[in-house]
Amino acid sequence: MLTVGVVGGTGYTGAELLRLLVMHPQVELKYVTSRSESGIKVADLFPNLRGFTDICFSEPAVESLAECDLVFFATPNGTAMKMVPELIENNVRVIDLAADFRLQDAAVWRQWYGMDHACVDVLADAVYGLPEINRAKIKSAQVVANPGCYPTATILGFLPLIENALVDDQHLIADGKSGVSGAGRGASVATLQAESAENFKAYAVDGHRHLPEIKQTLSQVASHEVGLTFVPHLVPMIRGIEASLYAVLQSDSAVDLHKLYVDRYASEPFVDVLPEGVMPETRSVKGANTCRISIFRPQQGNTVVVSSVIDNLMKGAAGQAIQNMNIMFEFDERLGLNQVALLP
């Protein structure tokens, strides 16, 4: 059995991670940490876990976490990087669900997150945990940077076009919409029901923290810097992301775009390319570790439109983290992730 610790188990991402871990047949949940809830039973805070675990929250201590084979960090940005070096010294492998190891350039990290990186040497060796492009590296990684939710939907949507150099990659547009759980569990006026219900708005138009992550990954795929306009929106639902992606073909190409996507993702267990003309819906992936994609070429013009949907707490966070764990420890990649989406 794989012994696992979770640092920061009180947020939405942490709660989703715990829900998946207690059902995983190869996992023994050893520690769940929270400074504010230390000593309280996890199932008292999250009653959906009642009957599945008797573990109590504990203080985060490297000495205890070093007993684990793997530690997940579901913590605010800037937390994991302070503890990870000691865990590595103890041969513990790490999956960070925050952004501490996603950006390879420490100066870019400082620009977007407002703090110096605490372990630049570890940052250099961390693997970006998007299995559809980095599966082999994830398998042997000591530290995996679990991708953000918007980046997962956006990168998977654009990937076949960028890999095949089919579009003008200097003027990509990503129009993302997310449910309010993406903002986290902390109290905030913007996510009060009276503020978010019956409302729809864009935010962070001048620059969202996921922008450099998306650009970094797509630029690596393209082998040169790409240009991207990314505008996120808050929609009045709890879970789900829809990314409407726009790009212009390099020429009047006769390529079969649907076949291109079907072939690219044919062996990917958690990417579903829908039949031509079918629109993906966020409710079709709620509670599932699936990205559903459709691709269109309106009026057979040169503009390509891709619609990509995920559950931001699953393929956009905890589900993808379990997928990465399965790869790292050579389990079946689908293990513990066979949930059918919740409907309605």
Write out the catalytic residue numbers: 149
CA dist., res. 142 & res. 90, Å (int): 11
> What DSSP character marks residue 182?
G
CA dist., res. 135 & res. 179, Å (int): 28
CA dist., res. 87 & res. 89, Å (int): 5
177: left (phi over 0), alpha (psi -120 to 50) or beta: beta
Strand 291-296 relative to strand 303-310, pairing: antiparallel
Closest CA to 80 of 71, 90, 70: 71
CA 219 distance to own-chain centroid: 18
Cα Rg of the chain (Å, integer): 20
Token pair in block for residue 139: 């398998």
Closest CA to 113 of 129, 99, 128: 99
